[in-house]
Structure 1
């Protein structure tokens, strides 16, 4: 009985690794891109149990055991870039004069959450220059009104459908827009923020639908919105930051395609996972909240902050505009096939 259970569990783990190879937008193929660390942990546990209690004897058992070993190496290969041993895409710059820094706080507050006071305390302790809050409705807008004395520039799109957005800034915001790139009830934002040094930076904020049955059974609209923003970022003549709850993990093929198309870099690479969801269940945590930046930035700090009652942890990233970093940061290569795939996904209908 133990042998049969281990046999079928091993098959299941391998299958969960193979499923994302199927490049289909239906949710069942996309959602298994998320739990790579969980799959690796389960794989390791299975191998230890097999070695201790059900050592392979038959040819089929040896084949499956070998497949588990290969699966481990493959998952380690995928996960390695997001560990502290991986190569950093963005250099570190701890020296800060504040004039060229842009400190950003992003928070999915969970619309039904009522711990707004915790976010006020978090903002006071983190002291960001720019704040993006998503899943915000009119109640959240009213609860955050008092920070407008310090964050005098705002762009607001409160909604009752869990896709509302609030953007606050101490720094000047111009060219502000609320866009509906894919659906009429799913907003994204863009604005130009002026650093204290006078340097202007283009901001893109988004929160697309996740590919889950209760929201959207396909990833088509999510992928489309992410890649449209990637195109916009690539066309920008000034430095760029893209941020928000992308409802996609940092290592998915869509996020990697976004990086290639936009040329933007991920500050988590070589520094850790910074899993921002799910704050309530530690076994089901993934990096869903993102900040990407152009190659002319260095990283001063990146932190996952304490939960404030939401199912997401807030993230705080301090970027330093540093043109000389461009020569030291990673330069992403994009192929003709990558561009063709991105255009195909942008044109796709849900």
Structure 2
């Protein structure tokens, strides 16, 4: 009569399965970028949805590998190197980021602090937002998404914030696609581009007059990838805006809740248009309990003329997203 497996064997077997499942999840990232969008688009879309969760695969995979290695400590566990390389390789294979600024140059450099925040359509209390914008840590220019009439009134009624950000381009909407740009520095050529198709969303363009030089801005929140058509429209919007900024010459910044992660196709298209991520893929959604996030959906992309001083998440604004804040210095 065969003997029953021990408790340790029970968990070891399931941990090994979890290791390989995480490796399979990791492979969805490069696979989603390799699959052609014009052939079986629904398959590419499904694979990409799985590719967004690389933080989960890396965390769960590392825990499972550690458990297996501990339980099999008396036997060879060399095979763990294969899934470990797959998970780690898929996780770190991301679009290029801005080069870090050299520390000796930062003190004398002119630094632009940029922030982006999705306010959440259902938010009614904007006290945390006002406190952040009135604080000493507030960015020089702020990109806001899911910007509503209620948010507009909350900021307009605050005299301190109105004085701090005298230059604005705001288009509040009752849907999740209202946008605003708040700036301490003058804005020129400010305009709102209304959606051209059912798959398109509002975009804001402006030129920031900063330190005697223009900085071309692009604010957007593309459609979330609810289906393959929305996902393709999102990726095309990112490429279009990246191309516009790169072709305008000089310095450029685009930011927002881009509804994509560094492992999917969209940000790779922006990289080909010479836009670089400002900082690593820091998780910003969901903002569970004000600190736990899984997916890096909120991004600041900048032209190659910038260097990165630092990047970090901002305070809890009562939204389901955490703000993303970066400090940039012109080369």
TM-score range for the pair, normalised by the shorter chain length: 0.7 to 0.9
- Counterpart check, 1:203 vs 2:213: no
- Counterpart check, 1:191 vs 2:199: no
Instruction: Name the SS of the counterpart of 1:118 in structure 2.
Output: helix
Q: How far 1:172 sits from its partner (Å)?
A: 1.0
- Correspondence for 1:259 among 271, 274, 288: 271
Q: Does structure 1 retain, via aligned residues, the 8 Å contact 2:22–2:87?
A: no
Q: Does structure 2 retain, via aligned residues, the 8 Å contact 1:90–1:295?
A: no
- Which residue of structure 1 lines up, in the alignment, with residue 86 of structure 2? 74
Count of residue pairs brought into register by the alignment? 304
Render the CA deviation track for 1:74-114: whole Å, top value 9, x for unaligned.
332343478xxx986343442246xx432222111112123
- Which residue of structure 2 lines up, in the alignment, with residue 122 of structure 1? 132
Render the CA deviation track for 1:20-49: whole Å, top value 9, x for unaligned.
414255442112222212212222222333
Q: How far 1:53 sits from its partner (Å)?
A: 4.6
Q: How far 1:6 sits from its partner (Å)?
A: 4.2
Instruction: Name the SS of the counterpart of 1:219 in structure 2.
Output: helix
In structure 2, relative to structure 1, the CA distance for the partners of 1:56 and 1:161 (3 Å cut) is: farther
- Which residue of structure 2 lines up, in the alignment, with residue 340 of structure 1? none
Distance 1:30 1:81 in 2: 15
In structure 2, relative to structure 1, the CA distance for the partners of 1:220 and 1:143 (3 Å cut) is: same
- Correspondence for 2:106 among 91, 94, 104: 94
Q: Does structure 2 retain, via aligned residues, the 8 Å contact 1:91–1:298?
A: yes
Please list, as runs of the form range in 1=range in 2, the aligned pairs for 1:45-194 lying within 5 A after superposition. 45-53=63-71, 66=79, 69-80=81-92, 89-92=99-102, 93-96=105-108, 100-125=110-135, 126-145=137-156, 146=158, 147-180=161-194, 183=197, 186-194=201-209
Q: How far 1:217 sits from its partner (Å)?
A: 7.0
Instruction: Name the SS of the counterpart of 1:309 in structure 2.
Output: coil
- Which residue of structure 2 lines up, in the alignment, with residue 276 of structure 1? 284
- Counterpart check, 1:12 vs 2:21: yes
Render the CA deviation track for 1:280-309: whole Å, top value 9, x for unaligned.
166651221111111222233322112111
In structure 2, relative to structure 1, the CA distance for the partners of 1:285 and 1:72 (3 Å cut) is: same
Please list, as runs of the form range in 1=range in 2, the aligned pairs for 1:322-333 lying within 5 A after superposition. 322=331
Task: Compute the TM-score of the two structures, normalised by the length of structure 2.
Answer: 0.80
- Counterpart check, 1:242 vs 2:254: yes
Q: Unaligned regions of 5+ residues in structure 2, if any?
A: none
Q: How far 1:16 sits from its partner (Å)?
A: 1.8
Q: How far 1:56 sits from its partner (Å)?
A: 11
- Counterpart check, 1:305 vs 2:323: no
In structure 2, relative to structure 1, the CA distance for the partners of 1:164 and 1:226 (3 Å cut) is: same
In structure 2, relative to structure 1, the CA distance for the partners of 1:53 and 1:283 (3 Å cut) is: farther
Q: Unaligned regions of 5+ residues in structure 1, if any?
A: 323-350
- Counterpart check, 1:294 vs 2:303: yes
Distance 1:284 1:124 in 2: 25
In structure 2, relative to structure 1, the CA distance for the partners of 1:297 and 1:76 (3 Å cut) is: same
